[in-house]
A and B are shown apart, each in its own frame.
Chain A
Amino acid sequence: RKEVEQDPGPFNVPEGATVAFNCTYSNSASQSFFWYRQDCRKEPKLLMSVYSSGNEDGRFTAQLNRASQYISLLIRDSKLSDSATYLCAVRGSNYQLIWGAGTKLIIKP
């Protein structure tokens, strides 16, 4: 089993809809979590950190479920510009970030 796993998608979602995807991790001792966005042929860019209590930034909500060892990202009122690949990153036992392979999201008009 990979340390960090994501559904590769693609998720095809109509504009204005709500979409959510998860990222599972295997190390129960992991303490920090991040969601990044990566546009085609571009670098990953930090979308949001994921806190134990969950956090929200505009249309984006991130949550952590320690019992089931996954983090989630919810996007409300999706825009065409939300089309991208979403990467999760989890701090590993050696303090380095372990990365998921990403979930591709396509927002359709």
Chain B
Amino acid sequence: NAGVTQTPKFQVLKTGQSMTLQCAQDMNHNSMYWYRQDPGMGLRLIYYSASEGTTDKGEVPNGYNVSRLNKREFSLRLESAAPSQTSVYFCASSEAKTGWQPQHFGDGTRLSIL
């Protein structure tokens, strides 16, 4: 009954370091999403994958890259971390991209960039 699983749960990086956030879902969903959540702001979409083999930019893609490895897995990479990327990152999935279906979230990765 895992749903959406994110790793790691916490990470501290130094400016300029790189890292990859992992996300996997076991609900056979077609669409997957990466969001960031900052205090006082709504969830902001970084990238999404409407289906296996496709990825698209969201509202705040700069400084990030993604890979839809297969139907289950969608990773987010920070190539050169900056303090402005300190945030809580959520991965989500839904049956389809149309927006009719709700999204289901992982429990987040808390990332601090020093």
Seen from chain A, the residues whose Cβ lies within 8 Å of a Cβ on chain B are 4, 8, 31-32, 34, 42-46, 49, 87, 89, 91-92, 95-102
Contact = CB atoms under 8 A, between A and B. Distances in A.
Contacts of B108: 42-43
Interface in B23-66: 40-45, 48, 58
Nearest to B107: A43
B100 A100 contact: no
Given A44-B90, A95-B98, A100 B106 contact: no
A27 B112 CA distance: 34
Interface of B: 40-45, 48, 58, 90, 97-100, 102-108
A34 B102 contact: yes
B40 A8 contact: yes
B99 A32 contact: yes
A89 B37 CA distance: 14
A84 B69 CA distance: 34
A96 B42 contact: no
A43 B40 contact: no
Given A4-B42, A32-B99, A43-B106, 6 more contacts: A42-B108, A43-B105, A46-B102, A89-B103, A95-B98, A99-B43
Nearest to A2: B42
**Which among B43, B58, B105, B108 has the highest number of chain A CB atoms within 10 Å?**
B43
A87 B90 contact: no
Nearest to A46: B102
18 contacts: A8-B40, A43-B107, A44-B43, A45-B105, A46-B102, A87-B42, A87-B43, A91-B99, A92-B99, A95-B97, A96-B58, A96-B97, A96-B99, A99-B42, A99-B43, A100-B42, A101-B40, A101-B41
A91 B100 contact: yes
Contacts of A45: 105
B106 to A, nearest CB: 6
A46 B93 CA distance: 12
